[in-house]
């Protein structure tokens, strides 16, 4: 089978097309013929050796796939060959950028009737992340204000819609281009801000009449984190779910005390260890989609061999919505 593999850390050029053996399922594993692969910032962090946990080399990136079950292990009872499924793969060696992969039957999600594979693969990672950064970690409540960075991205567009569904008073979204800010506005953003301009934090504060934002979703790190912290309201919660800039931030924890503020981290694989949390939330997300209350924005579909090009586009802020690879 074809796969995209890296044997060293670095830029997009380290992603190489290779031939590998098709894996054989044992125990609770199933063999999935991959039809759609979700591309995420976590994949670029893996490639650069900057991920939250260590990345073993050689490595086939990709943790989010949709496809058809082709074979099952001897302990599998919940799924049959021919089933269309979507799943999040393990973080140790995901093997998602490939034509086939193995996945544990207990993490498979049947794709609802009428939902195409591209939209199905766009939901789990970013949908669950948007849900839990807002509600579980951000403790969002009806009537609060929200600041969502990268509001035109895959996670951002979902987070904007969820904040609207859950009764946000004001949704502020940042994006780097006019086209992206228009998309964010179409999704439900009240105030679209260009965070590439100096002083963007003052625009955020002005949108809240100087009161600050109750919940902030932050994934850039560096200067964006520092300025976001200035926008946080008393009792506000800033949720970190990535460091896309590669720049770690330092701040004085005691500075949070004056206004009873919180800075919390989010890592989806930890959430997946609590089935009661992720299963219920995924069902809720699927119902939103079924009822037409949640739209998924597909930013582009690319051949598997163009993985390096897609990483370049993603990190160069050249994309909007969810990017998908197809074998």
Per residue in 292-318, pLDDT tens?
Answer: 999 888 889 999 999 999 999 998 877
The percentage of the chain sitting over the pLDDT mark of 90, rounded to a whole number, equals 71
Amino acid 93: pLDDT: 58
pLDDT higher than threshold 90 for residue 244: no
Confidence of residue 36 (pLDDT cuts 50, 70, 90): very high
Amino acid 92: pLDDT: 54
Q: How many other CB atoms are found less than 10 A from the CB of residue 58? A: 12
Distance CA 91, CA 62 (A): 9
Mean pLDDT of 224-251: 92
Number of H helices, E strands in the chain: 10, 15
pTM over 0.85: no
CATH class of residue range 138-265 = alpha beta
Distance CA 195, CA 107 (A): 37
Mean pLDDT of 120-143: 94
3-state DSSP helix/strand/coil percent for the chain, to nearest 5? 35, 25, 40
Distance CA 76, CA 85 (A): 15
Are 292 and 89 within 8 A, CB to CB? no
Helical ranges in 133-236 per DSSP H = 154-165, 178-187, 200-207, 222-230
How do residues 256-288 score in pLDDT, each as one tens digit? 999 999 999 999 888 878 877 877 888 889 889
What ranges do the domains of the chain cover?
A: 2-125+275-325, 138-265
| 178: helix, strand or coil | helix
Mean pLDDT of 7-24: 97
| Sequence-distant (≥ 6) Cβ neighbours of residue 118 within 8 angstroms | 36, 66, 298, 301, 324
Q: Tell me: domain 2-125+275-325, CATH 3.40.605.10, correct?
A: no
Mean pLDDT value across the chain: 92
Distance CA 38, CA 307 (A): 11
- Give the position of tokens 């939901």: 123
Provide the 8-state DSSP code for 133: I
How do residues 54-68 score in pLDDT, each as one tens digit? 999 999 999 999 999
pLDDT higher than threshold 90 for residue 19: yes
Provide the 8-state DSSP code for 125: H
Q: What backbone torsions phi and psi does residue 157 show, to the nearest 5 degrees?
A: -65, -35
Distance CA 285, CA 122 (A): 12
pLDDT higher than threshold 70 for residue 189: yes
Mean pLDDT of 94-100: 92
Amino acid 91: pLDDT: 56
Confidence of residue 21 (pLDDT cuts 50, 70, 90): very high
Q: Which residues pair with 38 in a beta bridge?
A: 324
pLDDT higher than threshold 90 for residue 116: no
Torsion angle defined by CA atoms of residues 115, 158, 292 and 322, in that order, rounded to the nearest 10 degrees: -40
Mean pLDDT of 62-86: 94
């Amino acid at each position: 089978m074809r796969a995209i593999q890296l044997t060293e850390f670095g830029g997009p050029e380290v992603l190489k097309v290779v031939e590998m053996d098709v894996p054989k399922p044992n125990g609770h594993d199933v063999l999935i013929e991959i039809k759609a692969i979700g591309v995420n910032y976590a994949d670029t962090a893996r490639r650069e050796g900057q991920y939250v946990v260590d990345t073993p080399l050689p490595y086939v990136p990709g943790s989010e796939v949709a496809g058809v079950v082709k074979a099952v292990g001897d302990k599998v009872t919940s799924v049959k060959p021919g089933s269309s499924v979507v799943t999040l793969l393990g973080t140790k060696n995901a093997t998602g950028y490939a034509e086939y992969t193995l996945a544990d039957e207990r993490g498979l999600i049947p794709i609802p009737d009428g939902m195409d594979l591209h939209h199905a693969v766009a939901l789990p990672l970013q949908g669950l992340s948007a849900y839990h950064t807002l509600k579980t970690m951000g403790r969002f409540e009806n009537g609060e204000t929200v600041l969502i960075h990268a509001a035109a991205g895959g996670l951002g567009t979902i987070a904007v819609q969820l904040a609207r569904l859950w009764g946000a008073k004001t949704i502020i979204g940042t994006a780097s281009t006019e086209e992206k800010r228009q998309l964010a506005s179409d999704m439900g953003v009240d105030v679209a801000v260009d965070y590439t301009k100096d002083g963007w934090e003052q625009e955020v504060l002005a949108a809240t009449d100087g009161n600050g934002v109750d919940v902030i979703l932050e994934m850039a790190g560096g200067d964006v984190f520092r300025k976001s912290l200035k926008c946080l309201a008393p009792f506000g919660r800033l949720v970190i779910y990535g460091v896309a800039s590669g720049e770690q931030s330092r701040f004085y924890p005691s500075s949070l005390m004056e206004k009873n503020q919180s800075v919390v981290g989010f890592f989806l694989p930890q959430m997946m260890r609590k089935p009661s949390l992720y299963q219920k939330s995924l069902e809720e997300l699927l119902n939103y989609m079924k009822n037409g209350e949640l739209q998924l924005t597909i930013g582009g579909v690319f051949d598997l061999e163009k993985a390096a090009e897609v990483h370049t586009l993603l990190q160069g802020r050249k994309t909007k919505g969810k990017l998908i690879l197809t074998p």
